[in-house]
Amino acid sequence: MQVSPFNQPAPRLGNQYDDDRVLRSLLARRFGGPVPPAALAALREMGELAGGELYQAQLDDRLNEPQLVQWDAWGNRVDAIELSPLWRRAERLAAEFGLVATGYEAEHGPLARTLQFALVHLFHPSTDVYSCPLAMTDGAARTLLDSGNAALIERAVPHLTSRDPARFWTSGQWMTESTGGSDVGASETVAERDGEGWRLWGRKWFTSAATSQIALTLARPEGNPAGGRGLALFYVETRDADGRLDRIEVLRLKDKLGTRKVPTAELLLNGTPAVAVAGARDGVRNIVPMLTLTRTWNSICAASFMRRGVALAQDYARRREAFGRPLAHQPLHRQTLAALQAEYEAAFHLCFELVHLLGRAEHGAGDEDERALLRLMTALTKLTTGKQAVAVSTEAIECFGGAGYVEDTGLPVIVRDAQVLPIWEGTTNVLSLELLKACGDGGPLRVLRQRLARGVGDCDDRLAAAGSIATAAADRALDWYRQAAGAGPDALQAQARGFALTLGRATALALLCEHARWSLEHEQDGRARAAALAFAATRIDQLGAIEPDDARLLVE
């Protein structure tokens, strides 16, 4: 007897803008009503591409990875990097949709960043992390504008913010060396000055998106002191007038766990021509605008990956039957999916609060308190959402059982690519220490606490209970900070991660409560409140560290 085997239908995606209640609701709130027609058309078109043509192209492109061709047929060193078809398509779309340009256009004022990152949120998970060069491009444009270097602004910024694919440039960010990624003050790249200008010598161990037309990089001018203060920020155009790499060798492409479509290279600078962006010192300080932008992109991409994993898992739960009914009707599976949705919504609102602060700061709409909050929130949001993305993406592919472990379903890559988010642009520990610095004398923490109070104010009884969990966790973290600050730096460092994650999750919960209150009033929709209550049931307070003596015993 011939038996026809059962084949499970694959999960499907619809229009990723129309299907994302959370994104549509946030935009309605920020714009105070309907999204402007032109912006809405772009969002819906991007949503259709992300859930349809681009998603299918991503599945079809699964086995393609960038390839390094170091020599041509006649023995000439060419160091050409061949990109995947999807990446070539993504570059054109990024320019046409203004994924960088939108953030610099005056039409929407402080909301330009919100609209920009709404588009990025849709674009990112269907384009194999093409967001990586875009993040650095955005950061380079902002850094050059803030530098006041008129010649470089005139030369590069129109390309970096162009909507014309033929004129559009991307930028690299060359900081990481084998001496250390986060300890940039240990950089060994040297800058020498000759009759023609600056030349750079050294090895950059990890340069993402190595096909960019320009890069911003740190190097130490000869004679400068050691450490970060002795570094300078330089602008490099990667190719000469003939289109050849300009005294740059690509030693190899990195063989990475994830983000395998991103051409991450190890480069050797052999007297590469460069231009000082803002003097011959203080390069770390001068590159801060770039880090602010790349960390913001990192955060948005974390929420975007969560959304993709949850969207696929929810669709699959409606299609997959087990024990006589769809998974979506199984109480335990429904609990799992609800928890993932709540985690996504919390991360989303944390990200778009950061974006809102960024947009206001760039347009001079925020006061000093908001600028202090922006500095705090940049580290807080990135470290919190990076950890969330890994946890949610892992849980999401578990929702598929064995299919989630099979490569040609296109599901495992979500976990691999999400794993870069807690690492790139500062690990959780490094950002926790940066958060301590951003706390300063405690003033920024008072501003954050006031923001939480606004978020949870005037809530109904159920939301008020969730809000009280947020404020109680934040208050405990702030009490710990005040006590530990008097006990010395080692005491602060020991619990810095728990302190940071507690503040991050407490802030996310307060923001989720705030949006839920708005949604109940303006949309008569209780789903955001359900998300707030579900997120409040998770572990918000992350304080608690191993005793120092026990930690020493376990490690040493």
Looking at residue 69, its pLDDT comes to 97
At 378, list the tokens: 């940049």
21-132+287-418 CATH fold: Butyryl-CoA Dehydrogenase, subunit A; domain 3 (1.20.140)
Q: Beta-carbon neighbour count of residue 391 at 10 Å?
A: 13
Sign of CA dihedral 86, 88, 91, 97: negative
In the 8-state DSSP scheme, what is residue 36? P
Q: What is the pLDDT along the chain (556 residues), one digit of tens a residue?
A: 777 888 899 999 999 999 999 999 999 999 999 999 999 999 999 999 999 999 999 999 999 999 999 999 999 999 999 999 999 999 999 999 999 999 999 999 999 999 999 999 999 999 999 999 999 999 999 999 999 999 999 999 999 999 999 999 999 999 888 776 667 777 889 999 998 899 999 999 999 878 999 999 999 999 999 888 899 999 999 999 999 999 999 999 999 999 999 999 999 999 999 999 999 999 999 999 999 999 999 999 999 999 999 999 999 999 999 889 999 999 999 999 999 999 999 999 999 999 999 999 999 888 899 999 999 999 999 999 999 999 999 999 999 999 999 999 999 999 999 999 999 989 999 999 999 999 988 999 999 999 999 999 988 888 999 999 999 999 999 999 999 988 888 889 999 999 999 999 999 999 999 999 999 999 999 999 999 999 999 999 999 878 888 888 899 8
**Helix axis angle, 496-522 relative to 428-439, nearest 10°?**
80
At 285, list the tokens: 């300080």
Looking at residue 176, its pLDDT comes to 81
The pTM of this model reads 0.97
Say which amino acid occupies 277: V
Annotated domain spans of the chain: 21-132+287-418, 171-283, 431-547
Looking at residue 177, its pLDDT comes to 81
Looking at residue 187, its pLDDT comes to 85
The residues with which 265 forms a beta bridge, in sequence order, are 207, 253
**Structural domain 171-283, CATH architecture:** Beta Barrel (2.40)
CA dihedral 212, 214, 219, 222 (to 10 degrees): 140
Q: How many CA atoms lie within 13 A of 92 on its CB side?
A: 5
Looking at residue 180, its pLDDT comes to 65
Q: Can you tell me the distance from the alpha carbon of 443 to that of 450, in angstroms, rounded to the nearest whole number?
A: 11
